Amino acid sequence: MSGEFALIADLFSGHDHAPGIALGVGDDCALIRLHGRKCLAVTTDTMVEGRHFFPGTDPYYLGWRALAVNLSDLAAMGARPYCCTMSLTLPDGSREFLDPFAQGFFDLACQEGVALIGGNMSRGPLSITIEAFGKVREDRAMRRSGAHPGDNIYVTGGLGTCGLYVKAGQGEIELSPELSERCYKHSFILESRTAFARKLSRWCSCAVDISDGIVGDLRHILKQSKVGAQLHLDQLPLAAVLDCSESAEKLTFRQRCEIAAYGGCDYELLFTLPAHSREEEHMCTLAWKHKVPVSRVGTIVRAEDSAGADPLQLYFEGRPVPCEQAFEHF
């Protein structure tokens, strides 16, 4: 079976040309020109029970996360959230599910200034689809194609919460009830990076949100920018649940770094900036003002400078390590 991105490339690319389309298939959002330099950023995401969340997940958490994952795409473009539509497929119309689901959704929507302007509801296995819209200046949209050799690679926040949560849910690791609950909550109540990203876009031209794990999503930048990269797994910022004493007792440092690298669904921001530049200085000041943790995790290199055929070279404690298959939602 072909993967998600192979199917998109083979069947659903190349038909995105129309008047006013500034950016089509292949980035975190499409861009539609409005007036002046303004663009409408458009993104859509689906969450399916059994694939993106376990049966019995708190409906409040689902409502929050359904919107949060779309806001993460808008953040990656530097767009200001504006409005959205929602399509729900439900086994039944139980208010026991819908009331807390709506509360979680609107708690985040109100926080981010997002209006719900339409949608659809149908009966079937539980599935949630949000299409979100934001506004951004075309010349400030951060695209996957904006990385250059010599750039440093940065990531916000900590990685691996959802990866650890999934491993525990699949029985691969046993966690204490307290740590399990922390993983559960923080896998769904995601922190928004939209305000930080809007300001970052003044100096940064390349970003992607981390939905498939940092290894998988960095590859999108490398492909679009036609560059290579060196990524240091031991420099990845571990989420608090991976950096605690309990996780350290049950997992080696390398295992925890690999969960952070491949786990997926972190919805943090991965971006590049020229090394030793004023842009880096501005970013550091901005991160401090917004209280957003930012870590440097690697370097962009020329594609021809990559060792071997793979443009992405991984290192752990200074030594090259093999690259594993990234997480895919399909």
Same domain, 155 and 124: no
Answer yes or no: is 78 within a domain.
yes
Same domain, 276 and 183: yes
Q: 113, 140, 167 — which closes off a domain?
A: 140
Answer yes or no: is 11 within a domain.
no
Q: What is the pLDDT of residues 162-199, one digit of tens each?
A: 999 999 999 999 999 999 999 999 999 999 999 999 99
Same domain, 164 and 249: yes
Q: Is pLDDT at 41 greater than 70 in this prediction? A: yes
Distance in angstroms (rounded) separating the CA atoms of residues 166 and 176: 14
pTM over 0.85? The answer is yes
Answer yes or no: is 3 within a domain.
no
pLDDT given at position 211? 94
Distance in angstroms (rounded) separating the CA atoms of residues 165 and 162: 5
Same domain, 168 and 317: yes
CB atoms within 10 A of CB 249: 7
Q: Is pLDDT at 56 greater than 60 in this prediction? A: yes
Same domain, 92 and 161: no
Same domain, 203 and 225: yes
Residues 141 and 79: beta-carbon distance below 8 Å: yes
Residues 117 and 85: beta-carbon distance below 8 Å: yes
Q: What is the pLDDT of residues 130-144, one digit of tens each?
A: 999 999 999 999 999
**Which residues make up each annotated binding site?**
28, 43-45, 52, 73, 119-120, 144, 209, 211-212, 327
Mean pLDDT of 147-156: 98
Instruction: Kindly report the backbone phi and psi dihedral angles of residue 74, in degrees, each rounded to the nearest multiple of 5, phi listed first.
Output: -65, -40
Distance in angstroms (rounded) separating the CA atoms of residues 238 and 9: 33
CATH number of the domain that residue 210 is part of: 3.90.650.10
Answer yes or no: is 1 within a domain.
no
Distance in angstroms (rounded) separating the CA atoms of residues 63 and 99: 10
CATH number of the domain that residue 31 is part of: 3.30.1330.10
Q: Residue 246: which pLDDT band, with cuts at 50, 70 and 90?
A: very high
Q: What is the pLDDT of residues 321-330, one digit of tens each?
A: 998 866 565 4
Q: Is pLDDT at 145 greater than 70 in this prediction? A: yes
Residues 145 and 224: beta-carbon distance below 8 Å: yes
Answer yes or no: is 25 within a domain.
yes
**Which residues make up each annotated binding site for Mg(2+)?**
28, 43-45, 73, 120, 209, 212
Same domain, 247 and 274: yes
Structure tokens at 53: 């969340």
> What percent of the chain stands above pLDDT 70?
95
Q: What is the pLDDT of residues 20-40, one digit of tens each?
A: 999 998 889 999 999 989 999
Same domain, 296 and 243: yes
How many folded domains does the chain comprise?
2
Structure tokens at 39: 């663009």
Mean pLDDT of 119-136: 97
Q: Is pLDDT at 53 greater than 90 in this prediction? A: yes
**Among the ranges given (1-15, 59-73, 289-303), the one the predictor scored with the smallest mean pLDDT:** 1-15
Structure tokens at 107: 């708690």
N- to C-terminal Cα distance for the chain?
10
Answer yes or no: is 40 within a domain.
yes
Q: Is pLDDT at 1 greater than 50 in this prediction? A: no
User: Which residue range forms the structural domain that includes residue 32?
Assistant: 17-140
pLDDT given at position 307? 61
Same domain, 119 and 205: no
Same domain, 55 and 124: yes
Q: 88, 118, 140 — which closes off a domain?
A: 140
Same domain, 268 and 174: yes
Same domain, 162 and 198: yes
Q: 103, 118, 140 — which closes off a domain?
A: 140
pLDDT given at position 326? 60
Mean pLDDT of 254-269: 96
Answer yes or no: is 9 within a domain.
no
Answer yes or no: is 328 within a domain.
no
- Residue at token pair 């895919």: 328
**Which residues make up each annotated binding site for ATP?**
119-120, 144, 211
**Which residues make up each annotated binding site for substrate?**
52, 327
